[in-house]
Structure 1
């Protein structure tokens, strides 16, 4: 009886059915509410997307708990969208780091590259589901907690300026390669933080790669200038 009571306590802890308010607190403890000012760079200006919805967005798609006599089941599914300014800041950091690595100022020879971020990644789905089947002398438990990124590309447009005049322009689109993540042993909060850390790294990588791709696209134009 004592073991069964402990089982009930454990299951209640696991099946409290994560709500948007609780999950939002996990995300917002990790995601900075104030963005650090972008570094100054004469050869590169990165503009964030126009302000629309601000702040992180959360929507409960599924929330259920079934406490039957021989079966308990739970499912919590939350759609999440990180603040576009936060995602753009991570992309921008990657681009400014790449500008230094690629010696952008010398390569542009006094010209200036202006990049507009049109669309950022940062959307994902959080899922926690499982069940417990009670037998006469035992129980069978199964569960899964996962975070799956939505395949949102990074979309940019750019202009190359010389003495204030546009001499070249174009667009760049880069896929988000972040993989779904499954929780094996961390708490829900630390599991979410791990995903957010990986997202920031991926956004930075996308920023670096996109600047490299833009320079490749400009090579022909630069050779004719």
Structure 2
């Protein structure tokens, strides 16, 4: 009985191991199929100007290399243009890429087909599924043939500014000094000599001393020799005698 139990447990373990191994093999096969689909089957698209392009993925050491090759439509006898460009990066750092790498490049293709020239787009492509990852995990522009340069927007030509000329101030003109002209002597008319003005001397002022009137003399004598009460009578008689 004990042997039967042990053998049953061993058989169940063997079955579980076989089923787990089968699952691992199936996952590996799916990954290999995905890798083959992205490595072997190129992605095809057309640009805005009807250039037919293919995207081929290859490995280069730790990096993943992408080449985009395009050929334009021929115009009459003139063949269409041909060009290619290479991109490089480490998209395997993105978890979503490892689950579905082909979809990563399909999202990149959606951006390329919007261009008129597939090699004149942005320098770094960030597919939506790995947009949050750093630049190292994105496909970065590496080189192109023929060499293409993205035209820079032309800036309007600005005329050189002329240096500001200071306003010319008119010089202040100082009047020239006028030379005094010598007065010419008046020529005497014939027959007339020079007339000289006669100066008459002004009479000098003579001050005459006023003479003493007799009344004042009589009054003075009366004041000396007569009483004051008889001063008027004395003055009368003295002046009468003097006259």
Taking CA–CA contacts closer than 8 Å with sequence separation of 6 or more, which of the two structures ends up with the larger relative contact order?
1
Scaled by the length of structure 1, the TM-score of the pair is 0.31
Scaled by the length of structure 2, the TM-score of the pair is 0.29
Highest CA radius of gyration, 1 or 2? 2
